[in-house]
Every structure is written in C-alpha cells, then in structure tokens.
Amino acid sequence: MMSRLAAAASRPAEISFEVDGRILSAPQGEPLATALAAAGLLQLRHSPRNGAPRGAFCFMGVCQECAIHVDGVLRQACMTPVADGMVVELRGVP
C-alpha cells in the first residue's frame, strides 16, 4: 500500500521526444525549455540581428528568447509542456 506522502511525491511518466533527430526523455508535462536545459541544450537559437547565441532567460513567457519550432510551429519552449512524440527543431530558427 502506497503512503499518502509517496503518492504525493510520485513523478509523471517519462515520455520521449525528438530534438534535431536526437531522442530525449523527460517527465510528461515538464516545460520544454527545462527538459532541453536538463539535456544540456541551453543554446536554442541565434539572434536575427547579430547571430549571437540565445537561450531561455525568463522561463515565464515574457522575453521570447526561447522561441523554437515545435511540431513545425514557432512556440515558446518555456510555455510548452513536453509531450510524447513531439518533434523539436533548433536548427533553422534565426
């Protein structure tokens, strides 16, 4: 029998998603920016102005620095929960 504390501390199931052809895993529903950072992917795109590397900064949907293509649509990685089978493209985003 599972204790109330153990039940409250349980984590969501791990799901798999693809980033530039690489298969990663993360707890279902974790913010995509967090899952990418946990995998060591901190540079998400380049500045369209000067080509400088950019990555998630505010983690709350304000700065737009985490804009990447998710399933072919430009999305904010910090506001997008990871989902099984999700396809993420870091290459090609300015």
Binding site for ligand FES (CB under 6 A): 33, 56-59, 61-66, 76, 78
CB of 80 to ligand FES, least distance (A): 9
Nearest to 79 by CA among 91, 90, 70: 70
> 66 or 88: whose CB is closer to ligand FES?
66
Give CA separation, 16 vs 6, 19, 25, 63, in Å. Answer: 25, 10, 4, 27
From the CB of 4, what's the least distance to ligand FES, in Å?
35
Question: If DSSP codes are grouped into helix, strand and coil, which group holds residue 60?
Answer: coil
Nearer to ligand FES (CB atom), residue 24 or residue 44? 44
CB of 77 to ligand FES, least distance (A): 6
Q: Which is nearer to ligand FES, 13 or 58 (CB)?
A: 58
Structure-block tokens of residue 61: 């949907």
How far apart CA 86 and CA 16 sit, in angstroms, is 8
